[in-house]
Amino acid sequence: MNKINIGLIGYGNVGSGVVKLLQKKRKYIKAKHHVEFVLKTICDRSIKKKKIARGLKNVRLTASIEETIADPDLHVIIELIGGLHPAKDIILQSLKKNKHVVTANKEVIAHFGQLLFEEAHRQGQNIYFESAVMAGVPIIKLLSEGIAGNGYKEIYGIINGTCNYILSAMSQNEWSFEQAVKEAQKRGFAEADPTLDINGMDSTHKLAILTALAFNKFIKPNQIHTEGITQISHHDIEYAESLNLTIKLLAIAKQINGEIEARVHPTFIPKEHPLGSINGVYNAALLSADPLGDVLLSGEGAGQFAAASGVVSDLINLASRQGSDAHQLLSNLYIESPDVKLRKIDEVETRFYLRFKAPDQPGTLAKISGVLGRHGIGINSVTQKAHEERTASVPVIILTDDAKEKDVRKALAEIAKKNIIKAAPVAIRMENL
Ligand code: HSE
């Protein structure tokens, strides 16, 4: 029987879920995988205040990261504190102490993945990070091992459970944005600070990881054009409904003529597209792979047990790779393709949905369309709800033809500067899926 001694650093929502899952599945894992996981240490900076799960009498509880990592009995450190620091050092030090690492930390892998994988390689250890993207849904395993050898044209991901939950709840239950955020926090999907979820950065971290695996290129999160969902209103959701569309926060990576385009933003997509039916906390990734073709992977992408499931799978994988089989994980590759370049968002072309809060006065529409025309932006349709009496302002919705990001940005800035409208315009991209 293989015995793996574990040190767990970070006993929060996911950490306590991992402990519960290891306890609940102990017999099952032992019988099926012939491995016994021995939780030796739980380390948390507020360990004294934590309610520790029952049945952990022989587990050392400590607030000291150094002592935990220094323990020569431990085979693996599970890092579940999140954030960049001290997570990066915990991972580096653990590798240097000849321990494998399991982590669910998308931020640290997105920022420092290349450096960390190189160190893992140097130390003959591995970093397992299945839960970093789509929680327990095995997108890391799929990309790095399952369909190794394929090339990729496009990746479309719904990879933040909180945002997908909020957008679905606003559309299906007509909840306000604030109501939906609170519920996502209550259900344990949102980050401790949900800003990273709703401003799109959590999706950006995850997209940086997928891009490294798919295109062999480590893109820094700040090189990925990112927009969150805070500007989405019920007006936009209703308009999407009326056109049989839906709004999703999409993480998109495409390879076009040797250049990579990577962006995260709310997107109008057809309701009947497979990604249009991914609702609530569900995540999905649609990959167009060569030669395999389209692959769609979906499942619960956030939450205590969804994430704990990925961590436990990582542990079982780790246990199965002992001795001569313990060579470097394919997901830990750190040497980039030299000729892959990043495409600037300015050059990216999509259709746009534009919403203006326009004064209800003759000539307003002509002024808006005039500016768009001068910037070479073609108009596909214009909608303004019919009204009986004159009101101070009305929402005007314009759908454009394919337009370059930089032209749209300049046109909107000009419209705002000339005081043609009463509030900042809303621009949402439309993706032809
Ligand atoms: N806050 C994240 C989400 C958790 O909502 O998707 C999973 O990474």
> Has residue 387 got a pLDDT over 80?
no
pTM, full prediction: 0.97
- Residue 306 pLDDT: 98
In this structure, are residues 195 and 315 in contact, taking their beta carbons and an 8 Å threshold? Answer: no
Other CB atoms within a 10 A radius of the CB of residue 422 amount to 14
Query: For the segment 234-291, what is each residue's pLDDT rounded down to a tens digit?
Result: 999 999 999 999 999 999 999 998 899 999 999 999 999 999 999 999 999 999 999 9
Average pLDDT over residues 341-369: 92
Find the mean pLDDT for residues 90-106: 98
What pairs with residue 152 in β-bridges? 289
On average, the pLDDT of the chain sits at 95
Ligand 1 pocket residue status of 189, Cβ below 6 Å? yes
pLDDT (tens digit per residue) in 196-239: 999 999 999 999 999 999 999 999 999 999 999 999 999 999 99
Q: In Å, how far are 15, 317, 328, 426 from 128, measured between CA atoms? A: 15, 9, 11, 40
- What contacts 358, CB < 8 A, 6 or more positions away? 364, 365, 368, 384, 393, 394, 395, 396, 420, 421, 422
Q: Please tell me the residue having the least CA distance from ligand 1 atom 7.
A: 302
Q: Indicate if ligand 1 lies below 6 Å from the C-beta of 300.
A: no
301: Cβ below 6 Å to ligand 1?
A: yes
Helix, strand, or coil (residue 217): coil
Mutation choice for ligand 1 from 202, 204, 206, 282, CB with most ligand atoms inside 8 A: 202
Q: Cα separation of 127 and 328, whole Å?
A: 9
Confidence class of residue 322 from pLDDT cuts 50, 70 and 90? confident
Which listed residue (40, 99, 141, 206) is catalytic? 206
Distance CA 22, CA 19 (A): 5
Strands (E), 159-197: none
Mutate to test the pocket of ligand 1, among 103, 162, 166 (most ligand atoms within 8 A of CB): 162
206 noted as active-site residue:
yes
Q: Is the pLDDT of residue 320 over 90?
A: yes
pLDDT at 385 (0 to 100): 76
> Which amino acid belongs to residue 278?
I
Report which ligand 1 atom has the smallest distance to the Cα of 203.
6
